Amino acid sequence: MDSAAGGTTITEEMAEKAESYDLLTLGVEEEYLLVDAVEPRAVEAVEEVFAEIPEDLRDVVQHELQRTQIEVASPPQLELPEMAAALRRLRHELSGAAQRAGTRLVAAGVSPAAGPNARIVDNPRYRMMRERFGDLSPGQGMCGTHVHVSIPDGETGVQILNHLRPWLPIFQAATANSPLHGGHDTGYASWRSVMWERWPTVGPAPYLESFEQYETLISDLQASGAMLDEGMLYWYARLSARYPTIEIRMGDVTPTVDDVLLLAALARALVATLLNEVRDGVPAPNVPHPLLMAAHWRAAHDGLEGDNIDMATREPRPAWRLLRQLFDYVRPELQRHGDLDRATVLMDRLRTRGTGAARQRAILAQRGSVADVVDWLARATRGDED
């Protein structure tokens, strides 16, 4: 739900290169479910899996709220191939640890199968959250993807947040990976998004005038009781409380590394593009909050397979076309960061395969079994389906 992204600090060599070429670094967090080795139901096995994790990875693997979940935070990277290698290794090693513990690692926004509500991890902060907010996380765990992109300072970061607001629904649509819950199709591409919105601070960031206003809002929200600390600011994009980054955090965890790499590449290119606009004094569009909420609802409902709202015209358009529009908009920064060729391939793969939600539904339609969907998710998470 809120973790220390980035795992380890940026190396001196990476920092020098980033500064020399004015490039932005990346960090990725992913949350996973633990499911039974045979049945598709989630299981409370996080401590057993932790015991099997290789020693050199323990500083980048973390508990999540519920005992059916586990989270990784990649070391920050400058090069996309290094990020790919880091994420593939983390998924492979955690899948192996899960197997040794008698369970499976699954990258899905929510558990597709029915099962009892999972207990929370025995952690003082999580106990306080449960006492304050009650049963806002029923079920077997909600799992997301968070992408961190470096920024120069908080004031600039707040202005980038303003510019980001119209683009985030299409990121949400592209990461949709939770259509099944409780053993049936919910009718939504991202059921996790629907469940997640019950928390009081979830939603698009408001239009902000300054970093001072951002900090004041955090203080006011804590005083109101709507959150315990800054880590519970669950806006779809926020400033990291621990690192000099913007954190884009509204997406489901995606089934394959390919999917999350595309998200990361586009996120960095978009933040870099918007950073240029902030430096050039381009004003951010103040999109009405209700319209943003409508676009995020469409993203959760339709994924990429339906429509979303073009914020320039305020009319519905095919979501895939809006993603392509985003790609074209950030193309110069994809090129400058060395990501254009790889991102082009990943876009083509996403267009061919569909989102995780579309793939889950296709398997359910072909085979008629939620267990088959979970089997596929476990293979995709491990890296057998990239």
Two tokens at 314?
């305020």
The two most distant CA atoms of the chain are separated, in Å, by: 57
Copy the structure tokens of residue 271: 């933040």
Alpha helices in 280-369 (DSSP H): 289-302, 319-336, 340-353, 356-367
SS3 per-residue string spanning 191-233: HHHHHHCCCCCCECCCCCCCHHHHHHHHHHHHHHCCCCCHHHC
State how far the Cα of 329 lies from the Cα of 209, in Å rounded to an integer: 25
What would the pLDDT profile of 237-256 be if each residue is shown by its tens digit?
Answer: 999 988 899 999 999 999 99
Separation between Cα atoms, residue 66 and residue 154, nearest integer Å: 32
Query: What CA–CA distance (Å, rounded) separates 329 from 163?
Result: 13
Residue 175, domain member (yes or no): yes
Give 36's DSSP letter: E
Rounded distance, CA 329 to CA 315, Å? 19
**pLDDT at residue number 4:** 42
146 lies in some domain = yes
Query: In total, how many domains does the chain have?
Result: 1
Angle, vertex CA 24, rays to CA 259 and CA 170, nearest 5: 40
In a domain, 55, yes or no: yes
- pLDDT at position 367 is 87
Q: Give dist(CA 163, CA 60) in Å, integer.
A: 31
CA 230 and chain centroid, separation: 18
Beta strand 180-181 pairing with 184-185: antiparallel
Asked whether residue 261 is domain-assigned, the answer is yes
- With respect to residue 302, please indicate whether it lies within any of the assigned structural domains: yes
* pLDDT score at 3: 45
Flag residues of the chain having pLDDT under 70: 1-21, 138, 386
Task: Kindly tell me the sign of the dihedral angle through the C-alpha atoms of 164, 165, 166, 169.
Answer: positive
- State whether residue 150 is helix, strand or coil: strand
Q: How many CB atoms lie within 10 A of CB 325?
A: 14
| CATH code, domain with 261 | 3.30.590.20
Answer yes or no: are the C-beta atoms of 72 and 30 closer than 8 Å.
yes
Only one residue has tokens 């590394």, namely 257
Question: Which of 9, 6, 2, 7 has its CA nearest to residue 60?
Answer: 7
DSSP 286-303: ---HHHHHHHHHHHHHHT
Q: Please classify residue 252 by burial: count the beta carbons closer than 10 Å to its beta carbon, then call 0-12 exposed, 13-18 middle and 19+ buried.
A: buried
C-beta neighbour count of 385 within 10 angstroms:
16
Model confidence pLDDT, tens digit, residues 280-333:
999 999 999 999 999 999 999 999 999 999 999 999 999 999 999 999 999 999
In-domain check, residue 277 = yes
Neighbours of 351 (CB within 10 A): 12
The domain of 21 spans 12-366
- Which residues have C-beta within 8 Å of that of residue 280, sequence separation ≥ 6? none
Residue 34 has what pLDDT? Answer: 97
| Residue 140 DSSP code | S
In a domain, 385, yes or no: no
Do 263 and 149 meet the contact criterion of CB atoms below 8 Å apart? no
